[in-house]
Amino acid sequence: MDWIDLILIPAIKSLVFILALLGGFAYLTWVERKLVGRFQLRIGPNRAWKFGLGHPIADALKMVFKEETIPSYTDKILFVLGPALAIVPALVMFAVVPVGPDITLFGRTITMGIADINVALLYVLAIGGLGTYGIILGGWASNNKYSLLGALRTSAQMLAYELPMGLLLLAIVLVTGTLSLMRIINEPMAWYFRIWLLLAFPFFFITTLAETNRSPFDFPETENELVAGFQTEYGSIKFALYYMTEYLHMIVASGVIVSLFFGGYRGPFVDQIPLLGPVYFVGKVLVMIFLFIWVRASLPRVRYDQLMKFCWTFLTPLALIYLAITAVMVVFL
């Protein structure tokens, strides 16, 4: 392998993925506002440009040029580090998600993903855990009781819901025999195993809602109890980075869910026309994002004690039972 394969091609792919994620985040805010508006019988954004498509650009300019302040009573280093530590893991997590089959371009085989590593699921869990530190540090460094409570809720919520999520992922690994998302997508599987794994999707989706702090599990920032939670003291571009992190996590989570349960980029005629793979992948991710938004528009926020009780008394035992049954099926079927 020469320097083109080792350095240039991965660098170009990384740049393309980052730009796509940032652009996707910007217009995902417009999509969510429009969809929630329709759910609530409102029009949604419609002032800036046609159909309101200029709203994300206006928001970006507003956030960049707003006056930036750092309260005097904060831990300034950690206060600035928090948003950066939150958004960087959200960007690099997508590196192991394959968006299409390999293609041949200018005589070189190009993988439609930045990296295909054999521990991709562990990578996603580890990097996702690092992103939690950004929220916790932001709440702690703000030196504000509401921010601190939001940070504490984050740590408890993430630790709790990572357990059933990990158990459900273990069941998938037992069936497929790999931690690589590329191999999970392409692994041949008996029809009854496919149906059995699909039964885990609703519960895995619930854990994903909690891990991404999406409504109705957005307790680290719940405005009716904690003003704005961990981000109470943040404004301008720092607030925008936290806002961006939530949507990036939603995009990455949708990509992982699609790869685990719905065949990723697989679809009709992908083997004959590899460029159809990214089209199928993006379409499935958009459907999953619609589900995230649908849940937000439909369900009220529960109490925090109900969130934790649901995890420890229902979701975790259920995931353990599901894992045990999966192990029996793998051995005897």
Question: Per-residue pLDDT for 224 more than 60?
Answer: yes
Mean pLDDT of the chain: 84
Q: What is the DSSP string of 18-69?
A: HHHHHHHHHHHHHHHHHHHHHHTT---S-SSSGGGTTHHHHHHHHHHHSPP-
Query: Which residue has better confidence, 152 or 176?
Result: 176
121 vs 15, 53, 70, 231, 270, CA distance in Å?
23, 36, 37, 29, 24
Tell me, what's the pLDDT at 5?
65
Q: What is the pLDDT of residues 179-213, one digit of tens each?
A: 888 888 888 888 889 999 999 999 999 999 888 88
Residue 251: inside a domain, yes or no?
A: yes
Whether residue 92 contacts residue 129, with contact meaning beta carbons closer than 8 Å, is answered with no
Q: Distance (Å, rounded) from C-alpha 100 to C-alpha 331?
A: 32
**Burial class, 40, CB count within 10 angstroms (exposed 0-12 / middle 13-18 / buried 19+):** exposed
Residue 31: inside a domain, yes or no?
A: no
Question: Per-residue pLDDT for 227 more than 80?
Answer: no
198 vs 87, 184, 191, 211, 271, CA distance in Å?
30, 14, 11, 20, 24
Question: Per-residue pLDDT for 6 more than 80?
Answer: no
pTM of the predicted model as reported, rounded to 2 decimal places = 0.88
Residue 148: inside a domain, yes or no?
A: yes
CB half-sphere exposure, 77, CA atoms < 13 A: 0
Tokens of 253: 């989570």
Residue 255: inside a domain, yes or no?
A: yes
Whether residue 229 contacts residue 147, with contact meaning beta carbons closer than 8 Å, is answered with yes
Residue 96: inside a domain, yes or no?
A: yes
Tell me, what's the pLDDT at 104?
75
Tell me, what's the pLDDT at 178?
87
Question: Per-residue pLDDT for 245 more than 80?
Answer: yes
Residue 46: inside a domain, yes or no?
A: no
Tell me, what's the pLDDT at 173?
92
For the segment 268-279, the average pLDDT, to the nearest whole number, is 85
Residue 204: inside a domain, yes or no?
A: yes
Query: Which residue has better confidence, 11 or 320?
Result: 320
Contacts of 32 (CB under 8 A, 6+ apart): 293, 296
Question: Per-residue pLDDT for 281 more than 70?
Answer: yes
For the segment 118-123, the average pLDDT, to the nearest whole number, is 88
Tell me, what's the pLDDT at 259?
92
Question: Per-residue pLDDT for 303 more than 90?
Answer: no
Tell me, what's the pLDDT at 43?
84
For the segment 55-65, the average pLDDT, to the nearest whole number, is 81
Tell me, what's the pLDDT at 254?
93
Question: Per-residue pLDDT for 109 more than 80?
Answer: no
Q: Distance (Å, rounded) from C-alpha 111 to C-alpha 9?
A: 10
Q: Distance (Å, rounded) from C-alpha 121 to C-alpha 66?
A: 39
Residue 24: inside a domain, yes or no?
A: no
For the segment 254-274, the average pLDDT, to the nearest whole number, is 88
The whole domain housing 319 covers 71-332
For the segment 292-300, the average pLDDT, to the nearest whole number, is 88
Question: Per-residue pLDDT for 1 more than 60?
Answer: no
Q: Is the peptide bond before 216 cis (omega within 30 degrees of 0)?
A: yes
For β-strands 100-105 and 108-112, DSSP reports them as antiparallel
Name the residue with tokens 């925008």: 240
If one counts the domains in the chain, the total is 1
Tell me, what's the pLDDT at 196?
92
Question: Per-residue pLDDT for 250 more than 60?
Answer: yes
Tell me, what's the pLDDT at 3?
67
Tokens of 147: 């921010």
Q: What is the pLDDT of residues 90-103, one digit of tens each?
A: 888 888 888 888 77
Question: Per-residue pLDDT for 37 more than 70?
Answer: yes
